[in-house]
Structure 1
Amino acid sequence: MNLSEFSKYRNYIILGLLAVFTAFALWVRMIPSEGLVSVAGVNLLGNDPWYNLRLIEVIVENPLSYPWFDPMTYYPYGTDNFWGPMFPIIGAVMCLLSGASTRPEIMYVASWLPPLMGAVMVPLMYLVGEKVSDWKTGIIAALFTATIAGQYVYRSLFGFVDHHIAEVLFGALFCLLYIYYLSYIREHPVDFKSIESLKVPAIIAVFCGIAYVIGVSNMPTMILFALIASLYTGLQFIWDRLKGKSTEYLVLLNVVTFLVAIAGFLLIGIHHAGMSMARYSMGHIVAYLAIIIATLVLFGIEKGLKEKSFSYYIGALAGLVVAGIVFMMFFVPEFFSFFVSGLSSFFGYTATLTTIQEARHWDIESAWQAFSYGMILLVFGFIVCAWKFLKESRQAYLFLIIWSFVTLYSTTIQVRYEYYLAANIAILGAVFVAWALEFGGRDLLSYAGINIEKSKTDESKPQTKKNSKTAESTPAPAESSSKAKKKSDKKKQPLPKKPSANSLNALVAILAIVLAVFFVYSSADIGIATASVMKNGGMTPDWQESLEWLGENTPETGIDYYAVYSRDSYENPEESYGVMTWWDYGHWITFIAERPPNANPFQEGVAGNLGSAAFFIQESESESNEILDNLDTRYVITDIEMDTTKFWAMSTWYNPELMHAPYMQNLAMIGQDGSFSSVSLNNERYYNTMISKLHNFDGSMAEPGLVYYIEYASGAQYGISIPVISTAAQMTYDEAKEKVDAFNADKKAGTGAVILNSDLFSPTAEVPALRNYRLIHESPTNVLNSGGFLSYVKTFEYVSGAHIKGEGIIEIPLKTDQGREFTYRQKSIDGEFVVPYSTTGDKYGVKALGDYRIQGTDKTFSVSEDSVLNGLYIN
């Protein structure tokens, strides 16, 4: 087999393969469209995409005007957007060019943007691989990029209209140009004494800076790539000094790149007063200047100590680092704090971050689930890159190592960076596989009986006709021919043996092929499965129904949804109000109901005394009321997840140290085989939280029914950290209370007795009614599998409540818009009731079936809507 035949068509073959890989990547990412698209639009995936769609809508309505300030979220303060304008502007331009103007059309067109960016990553990663090594590395990198799964494929699916895939794309573009520069100067060295040698490298560096600006205009997290460039520069300086090579190319690269970055950042604008790296603040300008200055200082040290030994150079660098840190700590502490906080914003970790799915730690199990055999390829890729760098001193390999290491480290700290890491797994895996095939490919083919011959230039040359003519015109005598033949036979030597195949080399190639095949197959399988599941993704139907109802049945806020406001000149209209719910649902409220939530998925409005966590975990209605009064909030929305699976997240934000411990008790049970299992049961404080009072009891007074009486002993004697149940029995509250009091009055050390329960509707003690909250709508889905009705989503209105004089318990029969009937009951306080439901004039879905009545009496009361809203007294 002659490779010359292949080389003739190589470029066409590469283009064909790239077309196939790109088409496959796009096809996978478009799979969810089969289930997400409807006449009403696209049921977007996740939370943040809904806010990106809002930004795109605003930009379409106000062409190329980006809302840096948005009063439609984090009410009443509004948010200063830290998301960059690039992604929504690209989406808006797509809509404008396609003529999309209605909401369903805009949603559909914009939903194409992530899949298209995911598809563009395929040829881009080919170019990265080709510049790092060769075309074979590039084509393998393209294949891996087309099939790799994990968060990378999820965040580039149709309907996930978010900037994450743009972060990966623009970051990889910057790295491509940075690597292209490093590859170019290997053949065309930079010499400051020769202007001609600077022209092309300077142009490449300008484009590198432009790529960085594009990335940072998408998200401030692009500064991660500035960190990568900084670390690479420092190590490359040391290596070049060790090898005695010129470092002028590094100075030109960083100075030009980050001068362009500074100019571009100033065009984007300073939109945050602080120095946060996660915002469009002056901190970025300082960081880019620091990179330029540091590069020049390193160059100066290298030149100044050129005649000194390498140990002097390393000592000078170490002294410079220490002196710089000391100087910042004592003379410019503000800058030092800014530097530390900047790193913390990327790599820091707190208890509350465990409640954010994309901010959790990345463990081995998660890594394998996401990338499977790609993790093995990643390790081998690191090894090959390190070996090739040490052997060839090729700068691109060191840059690739630093790029991949920083991304891998970031991912282990916060799983959100997993979608960044996909590109590094693809390129490092490709480096390893391409090297392994080069290393052992011929040996493997030899075992298969295939001999690959390289093309020879002389084989293609035509034979000269002079000798052939002479031979034809002068035939040799027969005798002479016979003698010549005998002589020739004597001189015949045995043909040289073909070199034997190396088994070890062939095994390396086999290993690479097997890993590559397994990786491609498993990744493609995971990607297709993920995309197929997401056909049924998107917003929960009950939330969709509830928020559409909210938008249609509540007063306008006076805030123009499509307007672009400036913080300096904006004031909330007098009629505006907020909507309280958990932060997960904030963007849904903004987009679907066009109402401003108090909290949002930026984690704004969550923590602190006025945060949503404090409101829902609060056990005092008056203190919760104070929160809503301060936030000028009128409506509260709850769902079953806040009540159960997300309760720990809310309690963690409320108190990161205690978390859910005050409200639930973890206990161990001993099985018949001696094994331990754990159970978490609710205590009295859980049932008194606002989320439980609202969602479980509709704000009505609740009395205990059957509860669990539990005796426990310390788990220390069993070698476990939680108490072990010694006795558990279900009984009435009164019986349980009597037994608890008796046991605890004379209990032994390390033991105790408590009343707990798992039933959401049966508290462990009497729960007082809420006096200022009324249910106004509930969604249609019943989350209970057997008996009763508990809606998935409930909407409440915060009202002043009408005042009624009286003693005892007052009650009113009610019927929801889903046909569920229940009785609201309230016990008097200081001879007065404050009731939240009106018996006449109510415009919402929950209606009174009669008047209020005080239990055990014939006293009834009719309450008007005006009395409830304005806190009037009823005779």
Structure 2
Amino acid sequence: MPSFDLKDRNTWLIAGFIIIFSLFALWVRLIPMAGLTAGGEVDLQGIDPWYNMRQVEALTANGLAYAWFDPMTLYPQGDIIYWGPLFPTIIAALAILVGATTRPEIMFVGAIVPPLMGAAMVPLVYLLGRRLSDWKTGLLAAGFTAVVSGHFLYRSLFGFVDHHIAEVLFSTLFVLAYIVAIKAVHAEKIDLSSPNGLKKPAILGIFAGVAYLLGLFVMPTMILLAMIVAVYTLFQYLIDTWEKKETWNLAVINTVVFAVAIIGLFLFGFQHEGLGLARYTPGHVLAYLAIIIGSWALYALARATRDKPAYIYPVILATIGMVVAILLKVAAPALFDVLIGNFFAFFGQSAEANTVEEAMPWSIEAAWYTFNVGLLLMAGGFAVLLYGIFQKHRVDYLFVLIWSAIILLSTWQHNRYEYYLSVNIALLAGLFAGFVLERGWQEVAAHRVSEVAAPLDKKTGKNRKEEKKPSGGSDPVVLLGSVIVVILSVFFIISSLQVGLAMAEGSAYGGMHPQWRETLEWMGSNTPDTGVDYYKSYEKDSFQYPAESYGVMTWWDYGHFITFLAKRIPNCNPFQHGVTGPNGSAAFFMAQNEDTAAEILTHDGTRYVITDTMMDTGKFWAMATWFDPKAGPQPYQQTWLVPADQDTLVQHRIYTPAYFQTMTSRLHNFDGSMSASDRVYYTEYADAAAAGYGLPVMTNLSILDADTAQAKVEAYNAKAQAGMHAGTIGLENNLTMAGSEAPALQHFRLVHESSQNSYSSKTPDIRYVKVFEFVPGAHIKGEGTIEVSLTANTGRTFTYRQESINGEFVVPYSTSGTPYDVRAAGPYRIVGTGQTFDVSEDAVMQGLTIN
């Protein structure tokens, strides 16, 4: 590690700059504090931080004992926690240390830890830059780290209580420790028989191994750094063999590093079954052993082929690799999946993953918006690394090159890794800027020295300048390059600050919509307790849900909100658990008939269903994609071209009749009542093939009464030209005008809705969040249509209507005795006969027959 001379003025100047950069990085990250602490309680950013905060509360309540099983999510089986305890434990320990005991106090402590970790990245990257080059490069890289934005900044803002910034911190610490180790021993000859010869690599390897373990105890994805080490080791041996170097130094370092990881993992314990690398399983041990054995095998093969032509080594290596892969695939497929399959799966993509924002591929537009010319500086950094590798044989440059390239590829596939990549961009930008500016300074210094050293002019008594012969234009090129790099660096800093400050200021209002907070606070106070202690730690093997427990069905985005704020148990969660399959949330919300939906809720032990406007509109495509990845939202939502004026077509989202049959629409848009509309949107359109635009083109749109519209549809389609069609559709500006009729829901009743209307006008009146209860329903014998007038807790009035089936109605609303604030204004009435019925709460909850 670099030494520091405390008597040197430069040391204090450097320390001063690092402190300033760190404080600036901290200040930016604390900008959201003003908005997030309104009312004395932190409104956390995003989604996952709410669950991390739930873990912190559990840790503080259980003496820092970490629970690997949580029955407060994923009802009715509970969920296994697959990430490590280090990040929430740091927060919980700090909360205990400062005496934070109430929820607002603990949340504040948790909210401030990510900014502190983000600020700590500044000196860490300085050390990396100094190790790779000098203090000037270190300061440049540290300065870029202080201002770089994107996911790196967002995930270290005040209130984003998630382990991402801890992953970056400890993985970068490992990179620093590892390159110190490999560089320190690369040029030395290690004597394996001498304890003194092994002392240095052992100590450095232990430091790197401990840093790796810290990252691993944050998240199992630290295995990505082990993969980077494996790839680096392969390339380093290829280069060494090509240059006729024979050394076992790298094998020794890898052995120590991953022996420490193996020992630490055994002490930590295997918390999960199987061999997957995304969990704490023995698969990690197999992977680390493979790196150790592979390192020595690479050395042994290099030694065996040292007298052979240089190309023999890679040829034999490739052959052995293919043979081993084939044998593993045939003889040990599970081991193949651990060592090889996981590598390719990591860089894969699926339709379902593309509905998750952080798992989507990185786009060029997003990359340029976030980093701008920083990408150009990063490219220059890659060039400097290549120069150092081929001209100076820098082993640390090779590792940083492979580390940065793999992180870049990971980000390209899954944009969540941008928070890792930001560090590489800052470091490589600093490396490139330092490299160019150093050469520019050398040119200036050389020019000044030549002027001072020029001979004395006897006539004038002054130093005369010697005329130099043209040098091929190298001096101007270097100086021009320095000027360009300064301009790019300044632009990178300014653009990063603009993006970062906008992000920090825009995050001052937290991640939970106020309507959700309002709804879940109501749910926590007005629904039955589940019988599961929110703060108690449970073991999976011995836990059983009490009889009074139940689940809450909603889309997975909102699962952690329900756990933390309402202290109720969601059927699915933001880990995307409980979403797929015949009984998943996607199947429920896309169900086209109530019987199917009821079977799912019965299987899942669900009592309440929550919908919101985003599920009804903006998130609907994701729900449809999880339900059927091949079809996606196409059967329900489509994009059409609609004339804006005589010469312009604009894209609009339309809703097909199938959309209005889904449980999502029937609940949120119609409160479970019949979805028949008196007036509908009638449209005529050309399909994509006939339109020639790649999308259907609407040619006519009008609002008609339902019967007239249906008659026009039949008449038009009977005589339509090829590619021309007519139909009824739904539009987002009024989803209560159904494109098709759906029957009433018999077992779902609205019990609460949030205060805000999703539309700016008074009609339609669809509240942002709604809560429904799944009930047996009371039976009433009769024919025709029955209806009851209701008033919601917000004062909104609506009518529930249902047509009889086989001479019977099954109604979900009681007219007396309801414990909720959604109340009937009078008895049920059969339309046409005037016959009325009172329905008690007991009849609804026990499925009794009224008459």
TM superposition score normalised by structure 1: 0.93
Aligned to 1:312: 312
Structure 1 counterpart of 2:466, from 494, 497, 507: 497
Aligned counterpart, 1:464: none
Task: Tell me whether 416-425 or 274-283 shows the greater mean CA deviation.
Answer: 274-283
Of 763, 771, 778, the residue aligned with 2:753 is 778
Shift of 1:495: 5.2
Classify 1:682/1:496 alpha carbon distance in 2 versus 1 (closer, same or farther; 3 Å).
closer
1: CA distance, partners of 2:509 / 2:779: 48
Contact 1:278–1:342 (Cα < 8 Å) also in 2: no
**Aligned-partner Cα distance in 2 for 1:105–1:537:** 17
Query: Alpha carbons of 1:717 and 1:801: their partners in 2 closer, same or farther (altered >3 Å)?
Result: closer
The corresponding residue for 1:212 is: 212
- 2:558 & 2:467 partners in 1: Cα distance? 70
* Distance in structure 2 (CA, Å) of the matches to 1:707 and 1:222: 55
For residues 747-797 of structure 1, give each alpha carbon's deviation from its aligned partner in whole angstroms, at most 9, with x where no partner exists: 333222222121300112322111101111111111211122221111111
Q: How do residues 581-730 of structure 1 correspond to structure 2 at under 5 angstroms?
A: 581-669=554-642, 674-716=647-689, 719-730=692-703
The amino acid that maps onto 2:737 is: S
Partner Cα distance (1:667, 1:608) in 2: 31
Give the Å deviation of 1:56. Answer: 0.6
1:290 aligns with 2:259: no
Residues 813-852 of structure 1 deviation map (CA, whole Å, 9 limit, x = unaligned)? 1111111111111111111111111111111111111111
1:346 to partner: Cα distance: 2.3
Aligned pair in 2 of structure 1 residues 717, 453: CA closer, same or farther (>3 Å)? farther
- Quote the Cα distance in structure 2 between the aligned partners of 1:297 and 1:94: 45
Q: For residues 56 and 536 of structure 1, what CA distance do their matches in structure 2 show?
A: 22
- Post-superposition CA distance 1:602-639 (Å, at most 9, x none): 00011111111111111101100000000111000110
Q: Distance in 1 between matches of 2:98 and 2:589?
A: 45
Q: 2:151 corresponds to which letter in structure 1?
A: Q
The answer for the alignment partner of 1:481 in structure 2 is: none
Q: Is the 8 A contact 1:812 1:849 kept in 2?
A: yes
SS in 2 for 1:310: coil
> What residue identity is the alignment partner of 2:850?
I
Following superposition, the deviation at residue 314 of structure 1 comes to 1.6
Q: How does 1:744-783 map to 2 (within 5 A)?
A: 744-758=717-731, 759-783=734-758
1:730 is matched by which residue type in structure 2? I
Gap regions ≥5 residues in structure 2: none
Deviation at 1:193, TM superposition (A): 5.0
Deviation per CA, 1:416-439: give whole Å up to 9, x if none: 100000010011111100000112
Q: Equivalent residue of 1:711, what SS?
A: strand
Partner of 1:484: none
Distance 2:340 2:757 in 1: 49
Distance 1:675 1:191, change over 3 A: farther
C-alpha spacing 1:624/1:498, structure 2 compared with 1 (3 Å): farther
| C-alpha contact 2:753 2:769 (8 A) present in aligned 1 | yes
CA distance in 1 between counterparts of 2:696 and 2:670 reads 30
* Greater Cα shift, 592-601 or 337-346: 337-346
| Aligned equivalent of 2:160 | 160
**In structure 2, C-alpha distance between the alignment counterparts of 1:675 and 1:819, rounded to whole Å:** 43
Separation in 2, partners of 1:141, 1:397 = 15
The equivalent of 2:98 in structure 1 is 98
Match of 1:478 in 2: none
1:385–1:6 CA distance, 2 compared to 1 (3 A): farther
Q: Residue 670 and residue 860 in structure 1: after superposition, are their counterparts in 2 closer, same or farther (change >3 A)?
A: closer
Alpha-carbon distance between aligned partners in 2 of 1:688 and 1:743, rounded to the nearest angstrom: 24
Q: Distance in 1 between matches of 2:89 and 2:42?
A: 19
Bigger Rg over Cα: 1
Bigger CA drift: 263-272 or 198-207?
263-272
Contact 1:131–1:183, Cα closer than 8 Å, also in 2: no
Cα offset, 1:725, TM superposition: 2.7
Query: Which segment drifts farther, 53-62 or 816-825?
Result: 816-825
After superposition, the C-alpha distances for 1:139-174 in whole angstroms (9 at most, x for unaligned) are 111101111000100000010000000010011000
Partner of 1:123: 123
What is the CA distance between 1:497 and its match in structure 2? 3.0
Secondary structure, aligned partner of 2:182:
helix
Per-residue CA deviations over 1:334-366 (Å, capped at 9, x if unaligned) read 222334542255222111111100000101101
Aligned-pair Cα RMSD in Å: 2.2
Aligned match of 2:230: 230
* Inter-partner Cα distance in structure 2 for 1:327 and 1:244: 31
Pair 43,489 (structure 1): closer, same or farther in 2 beyond 3 Å: closer
CA shift digits 1:197-244 (9 cap, x unpaired): 321121010110111111011001100100110100000001111222
Give the drift of 1:445: 7.2
Distance 2:672 2:213 in 1: 52
Structure 2 CA distance for partners of 1:854 and 1:503, relative to 1, 3 Å = same
Asked whether 1:846 is paired with 2:815, we answer: no
Aligned to 1:634, what secondary structure does the other structure show?
A: strand
Distance 1:360 1:112 in 2: 28
Tell which deviates more after alignment, 716-725 or 326-335. 716-725
Residues 316-331 of structure 1: pairs in structure 2 closer than 5 A: 316-331=316-331
Note the C-alpha offset of 1:744: 2.0
Q: Which moved more, 1:309-318 or 1:406-415?
A: 309-318
CA distance in 1, matches of 2:210, 2:401: 23
Paired position in structure 1 for 2:353:
353
TM superposition shift of 1:704: 2.0
CA apart distance, 1:117? 0.4
Residue number among 509, 514, 536 corresponding to 1:541 in the alignment: 514
- Residues 130 and 866 of structure 1: CA distance in aligned 2, closer, same or farther (over 3 Å): same
Alpha-carbon displacement from aligned partner over 1:546-591 (angstroms, at most 9, x marks no partner): 1011010111111111111111111111110000000000000000
Q: Which amino acid aligns with 2:755?
A: P
Show the 5 A alignment for 1:23-42: 23-42=23-42
- Secondary structure at the counterpart of residue 638 of structure 1: strand
Q: CA deviation at 1:666?
A: 2.9
Residue 554 to residue 670, structure 1, CA distance change in 2 (3 Å)? closer
**Percent same amino acid among aligned pairs?**
47
Q: Secondary structure at the match of 1:605?
A: coil
User: Structure 1 residue 412 and structure 2 residue 412: aligned?
Assistant: yes
Q: Matches of 1:489 and 1:381 in 2, distance apart?
A: 49
Matched residues in 2 for 1:214 and 1:793: separation?
41
User: Aligned partners of 1:283, 1:791: CA distance in 2, in Å?
Assistant: 49
- For the pair 1:820 / 2:789, whether they are aligned, the reply is no
1:525 aligned partner, one-letter code: Q
Counterpart of 1:556 (choices 524, 529, 548) is 529
After TM superposition, the structure 1 = structure 2 runs for residues 464-483 of structure 1, keeping only pairs within 5 Å, are none
What is the aligned partner in structure 2 of residue 88 from structure 1?
Answer: 88
Between the aligned partners of 1:273 and 1:799, the Cα distance in structure 2 is 38
**Residues in 1 aligned to 2:614 and 2:68: alpha-carbon distance in whole angstroms:** 32
Aligned 8 A contact 2:681 2:737 in 1: no
Offset of residue 675 of structure 1: 4.6
2:243 is matched with which residue?
Answer: 243
Quote the offset at 1:672 in angstroms. Answer: 5.1
Q: Is the 8 A contact 1:191 1:248 kept in 2?
A: no
